[in-house]
Structure 1
Amino acid sequence: MASTVTSDDAVKRPGYGQLLRTPGAWTYLLPGFAARQPFAMLTIGIVLLVQHTTGSYGTAGAVAAVTGVSMALFAPQSGKLADRFGQRAVLLPGVLAHAASVSLLTALALADAPLWALFAAAVPSGASVPQIGPMVRARWAARLEGSPLMSTAAAFESVTDEFTFVVGPVLATALCTGVHPAAGLVAEAGLTLVGGLLFAAQKRTQPAHGTHSSQAGSPARVSALSVPGVRVLAVAFLGIGSVFGGMQVSLTAFSEEIGNPGANGLLYGLFAAGNMLAGVAVGAIAWKAGPRRRLIVGYTALTLTAALLWTAHSVVLLGLLGLVVGLCIAPALITGYTLVESLVPATARTEAFTWLTGAVALGQAAAVTVAGQLADTYGSTAGFLVPLGGTALALVTLVALRSRLVARPAGRTVARGMGHRVPVAVD
């Protein structure tokens, strides 16, 4: 149920305490946190298992890339179905299919199956990844529509995602190296199944879906991708994905070049920590500037800092630059998700969020491939050019098409002869 916002509410300083007191929030946040852990465990689990069984990082990376591309292509379709039929209707068969396909991929890898068989199993493994993050964001949007807490919710979700990408890979690596090479994927499938089913059971907090909103007097259901602003944001999120993918490969290559592979964990940890810290700060600030302006300013800062990565030739300098790049990612990422709430009708929000999540995954998969080839041929320094190229192209698109990011006109709801204006930020 959407909150009612008055002019007095609009000037209150949004905060995480106020956000987490939203009625019913914890009923989907806790199972949602468990269910989204596998999102960060799948790729590293595949890499560690397939490398163990084949002895080739190239083969392992190729199988993981197929999974990432498959997820990027199918995630928006999952979101569209959730908007039309409800999140529960999509999650129940989805988590079952994911657990089954990951189990098949694990069995094939352990049986030394040919590469084509691993690719065949990787496609449904990626396609069936449950889109818990976008579904949680859609629930926030439904409950906080018109509230200044929407930006805080977007920041909270960004921090949660970053925490997931810190904990998930560490957990998967510990299981694969300390228990069994397949333990990471087994845990991933188990968490997806249990967490996904518990999340799906929270029927009271899921947003209204298309079959309910198609009643007389309700707005017609539209595709999120038909909204020009969503297409622009998807391009921007491809650039953000290029940072994640390029950093992962290039930091690993840099650590190996200096003869200290263990430095990779510290360097990537600083990068992720910067993102988390900035995410916390963004959600705690009562912004006066509109989201469109904040997005362009934040993305400009991200591009400028990414341009410096290839100049770093020491662990200390690269660590500091990685921290700064992480600090710049969160504002762009959070503001992009915040804009969706005003650009897209409620009946298409889950799909819109999955387009953005899928764009990050697609940008990451492409960046991993390109940065890996550059690092193999020219060294780790060349790999750092990928985040620069990806963010620069996305920034040009954002600036050129910034008029597409204008929010839908705020309507006026009339009740018993009295008008109520919903406050909106103006650039």
Structure 2
Amino acid sequence: MSARTVFSPYRRLFAVRGSVAFSLAGWVGRLPAPMLGLGAVLLVEDRTGSYGLAGAVSGTLALSYGVAGPQWARAMDRRGQAEVLPWAMGAFLLTGIAFVATVVADGPRWSWFLLAAAVGASSPNIGSLVRARWSALLDPAGRQTAFAFEAVADEIVFVIGPPLVTVLATLIAPPVGFLTGVVLGAVGGLWLAGLRVSQPPAHPLGTGPRPRWWAVLTPTLLVVVVTYLAVGTVFGGLDVVVVGFAEAEGAPALSGAVLAVFAAGSLLAGLVYGLAPLPGTLAARFVGTAVAFGLAAQLLWGVGSLPVLAGCGFLAGLTIAPVLVSGTSLVESRVGPGVLTESLAWTISGLTLGVTTGSALAGAAVDAWGAQAAFAVPAGAAAVAALLAVAGGRFVRDQPVVAAVGAVRIEPPIDG
């Protein structure tokens, strides 16, 4: 079988006119995801010498991002991405610059938290916006491939972002790493906003009673969000612990490269997951991948050096994309188009709220126990993620679905 045949599902995705543009714009817009959290840690730790404070500030940014994301998504479901994104990106750029200026000027500590919260609150989840566009164009079989591709795009961001922000922050100046993430995010978001024709149709509220905001939180969505809360705790914990461990090993500039190894494993797994004709139900895949994720992260207990950490990170990374793709696919299969973007945004909010928890816990653990012992935070959180998925399995059961990979329905060409 030729490589052309193997990768034909991915080639068919981009046969839709405009898909290359919105996917690339969304990729650029997602670069802040790995850069701002780590950039805030590097910036604040450089100014104060405290990983605890750095983790708390970074966690505050992630917390506000997680809370605000579904609100932005709801507005875009109602009004359209092109109408809402420019306002969000303008606020994101201004608050990001203000945060850096305040930290560099050694402003009051409370203002650091306030502005970090403002940065997160002004940043919509770009990944959910891109996935909503794919969902409007493809049938379920095509969406598995598209969502797997988006997971790969996420991981490429996490391969490039951590080393980039680390190099900029350590070799040039700590503010440069954070500011670069802000600028790239604004550019990607504004670019995506300009691609009007490929955006999903808006679903304005009718004249009837306004639905309650929590109506979107179905049992399936809640199980995935709660599980992703634990998964995000792993991610947030790793950001802080890896930086502390690399510094303890005398190689702080390598922290971004080590984090990129985790993403590289996930990237590889995401590519394979998007091509494999997987049997079973979407719910079974979600539970199974969550258990694999929980088990693989236990390798972190054996970390004693940077090379060992890189090896364990690659193996653990192989389980990241599958659990993210399976959860997103499960949620997407259970919601209507009027709340699709919001539902997908809630899954990302679960991750980012977990990042908040992980950053805070790991920062305190590094200060109290040392970096090596602090790997208990991400390892323990991964085990909790597996247990939550298993416990919630009975609430997300569905009918068997065998993905016919390659059966991507191509809609009429669109511009964008």
Normalising TM by the smaller chain, what interval? 0.7 to 0.9
Distance 1:38 1:224, change over 3 A: farther
Shift of 1:424: 4.7
Greater shift, 22-31 or 168-177, is seen at: 168-177
**Cα contact 1:243–1:390 (8 A) shared by 2:** yes
CA distance in 2, matches of 1:147, 1:350: 16
- Where in structure 2 are the equivalents of 1:125-136 lying within 5 Å? 125-136=119-130
CA distance in 2, matches of 1:399, 1:173: 37
Instruction: Describe the SS at the equivalent of 2:30.
Output: helix
Query: 2:373 aligned with 1:373, yes or no?
Result: no
Distance 1:99 1:170, change over 3 A: same
CA distance in 2, matches of 1:214, 1:22: 32
**Cα contact 2:99–2:115 (8 A) shared by 1:** yes
Shift of 1:305: 1.7
Give the structure 1 partner of residue 312 of structure 2.
Answer: 321
When the two structures are superposed, what TM-score results if normalisation uses the length of structure 1? 0.84
Give the structure 2 partner of residue 171 of structure 1.
Answer: 164
**Cα contact 1:14–1:148 (8 A) shared by 2:** no
State the Cα RMSD in Å.
2.7
Query: 2:341 aligned with 1:341, yes or no?
Result: no
Alignment match of 1:191 (pick from 184, 188, 194): 184
Give the structure 2 partner of residue 75 of structure 1.
Answer: 69
CA distance in 2, matches of 1:103, 1:314: 36
* Residue identity (%): 37
CA distance in 1, matches of 2:196, 2:303: 50
Query: 2:150 aligned with 1:157, yes or no?
Result: yes
Structure number with the bigger relative contact order (C-alpha 8 A, sep ≥ 6) is 2
CA distance in 2, matches of 1:245, 1:265: 14
Give the structure 1 partner of residue 56 of structure 2.
Answer: 62
Distance 1:80 1:192, change over 3 A: same
Q: Report the AA paired with residue 368 of structure 1.
A: S
- Where in structure 2 are the equivalents of 1:190-339 lying within 5 Å? 190-211=183-204, 214=206, 225-339=216-330
Distance 1:57 1:424, change over 3 A: closer
Distance 1:374 1:53, change over 3 A: closer
Query: Hey, which bits of structure 1, 4+ residues long, moved more than 6 A?
Result: none
Query: 2:90 aligned with 1:99, yes or no?
Result: no
Distance 1:30 1:269, change over 3 A: closer
Q: Report the AA paired with residue 205 of structure 1.
A: S
**Cα contact 2:291–2:387 (8 A) shared by 1:** no
When the two structures are superposed, what TM-score results if normalisation uses the length of structure 2? 0.87
Kindly name which structure, 1 or 2, has the bigger radius of gyration based on alpha carbons: 1
Shift of 1:139: 0.6
Shift of 1:40: 2.4
CA distance in 2, matches of 1:257, 1:184: 21
Q: Report the AA paired with residue 88 of structure 1.
A: A
CA distance in 2, matches of 1:224, 1:425: 30
CA distance in 1, matches of 2:41, 2:244: 16
**Cα contact 1:223–1:348 (8 A) shared by 2:** no
Greater shift, 47-56 or 303-312, is seen at: 47-56
Shift of 1:148: 0.7
Distance 1:137 1:121, change over 3 A: same
Instruction: Describe the SS at the equivalent of 2:123.
Output: coil
Deviation by residue 1:89-139 (Cα, 9 ceiling, x = unmatched): 221110011111112112222322111112221111110113211100111
CA distance in 1, matches of 2:293, 2:58: 27
Deviation by residue 1:36-81 (Cα, 9 ceiling, x = unmatched): 2123222233233334444544433332221111111111111111
Distance 1:195 1:183, change over 3 A: same
Q: Report the AA paired with residue 388 of structure 1.
A: A
Shift of 1:314: 4.2
CA distance in 2, matches of 1:84, 1:210: 5
Deviation by residue 1:165-221 (Cα, 9 ceiling, x = unmatched): 22223333333344444323333333233322221011111112221x8599xxx99
Give the structure 2 partner of residue 392 of structure 1.
Answer: 383
Alignment match of 2:134 (pick from 140, 149, 153): 140
Shift of 1:141: 0.8
Shift of 1:259: 4.2
**Cα contact 2:56–2:363 (8 A) shared by 1:** no
User: Where does the alignment leave 5 or more consecutive residues of structure 2 unmatched?
Assistant: 1-5, 404-416
Q: Tell me the number of residue pairs that the alignment of Structure 1 and Structure 2 aligns.
A: 396
Give the structure 2 partner of residue 19 of structure 1.
Answer: 13
Q: Report the AA paired with residue 189 of structure 1.
A: V
Distance 1:387 1:202, change over 3 A: same
Alignment match of 1:355 (pick from 317, 333, 346): 346
Deviation by residue 1:298-337 (Cα, 9 ceiling, x = unmatched): 1111111222321333444433222111101111111111
**Cα contact 1:224–1:348 (8 A) shared by 2:** no
Give the structure 2 partner of residue 5 of structure 1.
Answer: none
CA distance in 2, matches of 1:256, 1:88: 43
**Cα contact 1:214–1:221 (8 A) shared by 2:** no
**Cα contact 2:162–2:256 (8 A) shared by 1:** no
Instruction: Describe the SS at the equivalent of 1:182.
Output: helix
Instruction: Describe the SS at the equivalent of 2:106.
Output: coil
Distance 1:314 1:42, change over 3 A: closer
**Cα contact 2:292–2:319 (8 A) shared by 1:** yes
Shift of 1:258: 4.1
Q: Report the AA paired with residue 357 of structure 1.
A: I
Give the structure 1 partner of residue 3 of structure 2.
Answer: none
Give the structure 2 partner of residue 412 of structure 1.
Answer: none
CA distance in 2, matches of 1:335, 1:215: 36
Distance 1:312 1:39, change over 3 A: closer
Distance 1:291 1:21, change over 3 A: same
Shift of 1:158: 0.8
Greater shift, 337-346 or 14-23, is seen at: 14-23
CA distance in 2, matches of 1:264, 1:313: 15
